[in-house]
Amino acid sequence: MMFAPGSHLGILGGGQLARMTALAARRLGYRVSIYDPAGDDAPAAPVCDQVFGAAYDDPAGLERFACSVDVASYEFENIPVAALQTVGRGCPVYPGWAVLEICQHREREKLFLHRHGFPHAAFRVVTDAAGLAAAVAELGTPCVLKTAESGYDGKGQLKIEPGADLSQAWREWSGGEPRRGVVEAWVEFVAELSVICARNGQGQLLPFPVFENVHTHHILDVTLCPARLPPEVQMRARELACAVTEALDVRGLLAVEMFLTRGGEVVVNELAPRPHNSGHLTFDASLTSQFEQHVRAVCDLPLGAPDLLCPVVMVNLLGDLWPEGAAPDWRAVLDEPWAKLHLYGKEEAKPGRKMGHFCVLAPALDTAFEKARTIKARLQSGRSF
């Protein structure tokens, strides 16, 4: 069923992804409501028609939200599946709760990939220090212990180096609480990449071009497009992402994060059923942004062309750039006419917090990258020039 422009779209979660989705939806003529415990303080609140400020475990609040919108989606993984099910009794929710149930839980996600024969790093599920020791013995070091639930931007991850004291590592990681984790073999990757796929209710499936991602301290730092990778690798990555999207029966977006190994293999790292940080550059450099495509897919409109119009580099702006809470001098970005600044309207800057991003476009990717690096250095130097 199609929810034509003019319908009312609801988004669970009111962070920057909801904010940018709402901006794209409004341009198409949709009304937008968000549901976020932070209420009017949520980054998406100022650009929405209505804000529902209640907890994710408040059935009455969720029902009110569901009854006031025509169709709903969500912008982050750590929403309880039960909340989606409650909303689903009042209006359709896409991607469906079964997709979120897999993607929000690293163990279920890994098992899903494994069952469907998609390539992934070797892993073991662990629940105690003895299990960790057995997993490390099998997978070798280095390896990485990741939380099964609620991890993002590298939170809940511990790299285990050769000779590590595993009992102590488990104690530190678990904080003495019962906890489930996934131990992953270390992947010696030559590049990280992502492919965002859109799929609507008719089964129309379109991937965006491959994004090349550079992470610093486990957080996305820079994304480049076109990716500097051989065409056959890019083809493989897009095919793989499309196959995962089909297998999960996604209606909406699915972001597939991948590694390119030294041996030339493309390996799936993790999945996100929503707009993704690596796709932010589509807002400035693509015919259809990931946010518009998300709205089109969820509302079952025909999908727009995901083609890249111009080489582009995106740089994340983390709270670290706000020394003592003061915003940097934005002239560093604004002085470059081919640069685009995006700020998410967050009041408080904390280290590691995503406050905004900027994109630099140029006829050649190298030029865009060089300019982006210069702008970042200017922002970091704190000088206004």
Ligand X SMILES: Nc1ncnc2c1ncn2[C@@H]1O[C@H](COP(=O)(O)OP(=O)(O)O)[C@@H](O)[C@H]1O
186 contacts ligand X (rule: CB under 6 A): yes
Residue with smaller CB distance to ligand X, 49 or 320: 320
270 contacts ligand X (rule: CB under 6 A): yes
The residue type found at 85 is: Q
Query: Which residue of 21, 147, 269, 288 would you call a contact of ligand X, by CB under 6 A?
Result: 269
**Residues within the interface to Mg ion (CB under 5 A):** 257
Query: Which residue of 108, 180, 215, 353 would you call a contact of ligand X, by CB under 6 A?
Result: 215
For 77, residues 6+ apart whose C-beta sits below 8 A from its C-beta are: 100, 103, 104, 152, 272, 273, 274
Q: Which does 144 bind (CB under 5 to 8 A by kind): ligand X, Mg ion, none?
A: ligand X
Alpha-carbon gap, residue 257 to 350, rounded angstroms? 25
Q: Nearest approach, Cβ of 163 to ligand X (angstroms)?
A: 18
34 contacts ligand X (rule: CB under 6 A): no
13 contacts ligand X (rule: CB under 6 A): no
Q: Which does 186 bind (CB under 5 to 8 A by kind): Mg ion, ligand X, none?
A: ligand X
257 contacts ligand X (rule: CB under 6 A): yes
CB 15 within 8 A of CB 78: no
Q: Nearest approach, Cβ of 335 to ligand X (angstroms)?
A: 31
187 contacts ligand X (rule: CB under 6 A): yes
Residue with smaller CB distance to ligand X, 120 or 296: 120
Q: What would the x/- binding string for ligand X be over residues 114 to 153, using CB under 6 A?
A: -------x----------------------x------xxx
Output the CA–CA distances (angstroms, integers) from residue 123 to 143, 269, 303, in the order listed. 9, 11, 36
Q: Nearest approach, Cβ of 257 to Mg ion (angstroms)?
A: 5
Q: Nearest approach, Cβ of 26 to ligand X (angstroms)?
A: 29
Six token digits for residue 70: 């025509």
List interacting residues with ligand X (CB under 6 A): 121, 144, 151-154, 184, 186-187, 192, 215, 218, 257, 269-270
